[in-house]
Structure 1
């Protein structure tokens, strides 16, 4: 089929590449000319496992352009995969979605299906369909479908090609027929429902996982107080099939492009309907506090960080991605700098994005940050070490080197990267989450 995709971020580009892998002809459009030029050269603008390889493999079925009229003109199916960033009040900013909808209305010349992949509040598909139908320039039929994504950064390709399910929200049989044709070669369960339910599935799923993370972090905090081990607790919980063992790893909170934004959006949506989802509100509050866990632990060793050298291991919000959105590093490093710390930072792929995020900030003391491409140099002569991301490079690090290289071997592990047995005989002051 002839498929167009609006947006070449995580959602848009992965959607495009995976559909090309399944044999469709896909044209991608984006407003960022530099990004489009990179894509034309076969270079992925985002770090994602297997993405660039699949781009290059399917290059004959993938086209990239900044000309949205060209992209939409003859498309049978148009996927909208643009961002829906969080507004200051916690609601989703739908400006990009609506702009694309207007462009589609003025460009399409044949009957087509418009598919909203972006995470949008319940009822948005209805509004987009009306907007397009009110502004379409030709006498053609346009149907809007809700088709939320459930990919995780770092495993986005796998999550798309071998998804747990494909959810399709439709309001007519013709749209269902076309969408089944799009996904006919995906060996994945297809769930067809009304559009509003499909929109809600996305929020309900992401927010439940965020709840689970915040819950186990609360349990971890209590474990520290009473002398229990959260890993043993999670193990015992995970054997219950009603609970499952996923998302029971305690740490310093969730981040990324989905959980923080989607919990706040659902909380806002409920408030707009004179309702409060107390569990979601609690998850948001717990997560914000959890990000500061290591700073609080550090106060046991130092009253302040003035003149101290602090090693930071991990900048991204999770391993396998260069994404820093809502990463604990973005909260903690400014606090450390404000308190006078000297920062030495390591991350396998996130340094450039971190520098870019800091460049446009008004944070004082950025000249006191140095970046390193290995852990040895990062921890050398440090007074304390914070671990924010569980990269394999960190998990596989020889812990004896902390004692050998650091000025004071104090390691605060926000992701429980190391087994306690590793630390028993090491000459290190080690503190993790939910384990004594």
Structure 2
């Protein structure tokens, strides 16, 4: 970065261009994202056309949109024309509708129709992720004819390592790897080389389910078909890796009580960050009134035995922590496909057994600590210890169950992680604590 800025400052443009030409496109994209808009635009225009297209495809959607605001329409039209089809769709999705219309105004009718079709697919579906840049073959071809066809048409394809065998109506009949074609006899028919038992998905498949399929079957690419089994596109592993990263980021945001955002932290304005945090905080603040109501209803108990108030933070923290551990494990296991909604009873039974051991251990430890080191009466030690035991059981069972219930109700399981879970457990912990206190102290 220092070298680039120095060359820009001293107007060593020839040297700068030579330096950029030997760099990786992803590294140049990272530099552009850190430069001022003026310098980023100048540097981008300095790049050779092919390299500029590669660099642009490596930039984040937000930075692509920001940089594109500095281009004139002719530059945008030329850039869109050179982008790979899936990168083209991703870029156009981030632009205002009016600008998209201006960019596509001079595009060929067939391409414009196809782009509009892709832009109309649901945001998180296979249709929005796929590309039409794949190699298709006919089963009547020989291995030699297939190699010649790949040589002629494969230059701008997303991948040539897997080829797709279609009939005259574009119905998918099989898939064949480039390795098998190259190693086969020249006159061997593709029909004899292709796999008929293949995995495909439809255009409406959700991206989370697609990611699971890639993981389960170790795929490099997967064909996308319509309802009549006609091949309409493919999704490659590099696209699904980006999707997995987006899904994980979204889950982290929801687990922290944040509204998910696609923008990077440093690119987000203060107002934007505020808008993503405030709604959940307001909801949690309102739900926390239940906790206050419980404390108020047991005000008489606290006034008679003030020592009980000392242990409220510790009990609430233990409940929240235990619940978070349980929910985090279950949410992650669900994301990896290790736990399904049908396993809810198994999860409850497992978490109950774990909570018995954990709860009993913490209860004994706290009983001895409060009695021996803090010199409270046996009754107080017993109340706190019994509460901890019951709290851990409630927290771990509820923490493991709520994400599964959310999935059953078609909600995102991540919303059931803390702080939502902590708010629910706080109310339960306090009610349990004061109810046990009344029973043991006969208040």
TM-score range, shorter chain: under 0.3
Give the helix-richer structure, 1 or 2: 2
TM-score normalized with structure 1 length = 0.27
Give the strand-richer structure, 1 or 2: 1
Larger Rg: 2
